[in-house]
Structure 1
Amino acid sequence: MKNLVLVLVSLLLTSCAALEQNYKNTCASYDWEAMGSRDALAGESMQSSVLSQCMQHGIPATRTAYDQGYARGLMQFCTYEYGIYWGREGKDYENTCTPSVANNFLAGYSKGKMEYQRLQVAKAQVVAIQRASGQSCTFDSDCEIKIECKMSSSAPYSRQCAGNGKTCNFDSDCTLPGSCSFNTCTNR
């Protein structure tokens, strides 16, 4: 029994040493500068999960190279143009830009996000029209497409129809007319 315990302890220690060596080899093989740049361009905070894991195991990761890559990535990320791209993709912004360049990024992000939201509403309208087309009806009003009248994100205290930007006061101001022909909706 004593020998069995010694064998098991020996196997456990050998496994731990092999695992530690595997971490060392893996962490040493990373291009830390490229990883830092990728994290910044992905809008992530400065601390990479891989970097954290390597540091937790006492493996000296090249933090300086990661930081340099992250700074280089942020210079690309925190621009007006990248803000437009990020917003158009519908991605959330995690306050990764420094205050000195955040306003420039946010101006682009706001523009891109509005374009993204308009596109999402337009897609929803197309789906609604496709669903309404072909449904049975008695009157043209049975085929109307209802669109929401919302507060404007660009002009305070102003309301606009979702998607087309038309000024409205009530949801009924945003309704798209339909047509009932031979008891079937044929939306225009």
Structure 2
Amino acid sequence: MHQALVILGILLMTGCQIDPYTHAPTWSDRNWYEIGVDDAMSGGLAKDRQRLALEYDDAHIDIAAYKKGYQRGQQRFCQDDFLYVWGLSGRSFPGTCENLEQTPQLRARWKQGDTGASEDSILN
């Protein structure tokens, strides 16, 4: 009887074991367009193929889709009012908006927000 209980206990314990490979995530193809949009919207500089391959551990990078997404993110991000608020939050001028035709105007608008934030912190 004692042996039966020991064997039953062992069977129950091994039956509850989780195989770590049965619940492994399945990776789908990356959306390089969306990755580009996200990189631009975070204020960062565009990444080259080598940096993307390193960060995402992926040799199959659709650099054309990434660049197209990054440009779309730049269009949405590099707006006067958005950069004013970005400056108010105390953040530095974003790399996303560097090297654009309208960079001087965008930098001036960002500076207005940055200066406003500095004056508010002095008054408080």
Shorter-normalised TM range: 0.5 to 0.7
Structure with the larger helix share = 2
For residues 75-101 of structure 1, give each alpha carbon's deviation from its aligned partner in whole angstroms, at most 9, with x where no partner exists.
Answer: 122221121021011111244322402
The structure with the largest alpha-carbon Rg is 1
Structure with the larger strand share = 1
**Coordinate RMSD, CA, aligned:** 2.7
User: Which one has more relative contact order, counting CA pairs under 8 Å at least 6 apart?
Assistant: 2
In structure 2, runs of 5+ residues without a counterpart are 1-25
1:88 maps to what in 2?
88
| Counterpart-to-counterpart distance in 1, 2:94 and 2:120 | 23
1:71 maps to what in 2?
71
2:107 maps to what in 1?
106
In structure 1, runs of 5+ residues without a counterpart are 1-24, 124-188
| Counterpart-to-counterpart distance in 2, 1:77 and 1:121 | 28
Runs of 4+ in structure 1 displaced over 4 angstroms?
A: none
* TM-score, normalisation: structure 2: 0.65
Contact 1:33 1:67 in 2 (8 A): yes
| Counterpart-to-counterpart distance in 2, 1:67 and 1:75 | 12
Residues paired across the two proteins, number:
98
| Counterpart-to-counterpart distance in 2, 1:104 and 1:80 | 8
* TM-score, normalisation: structure 1: 0.45
Calculate percent identity across the aligned residue pairs: 22
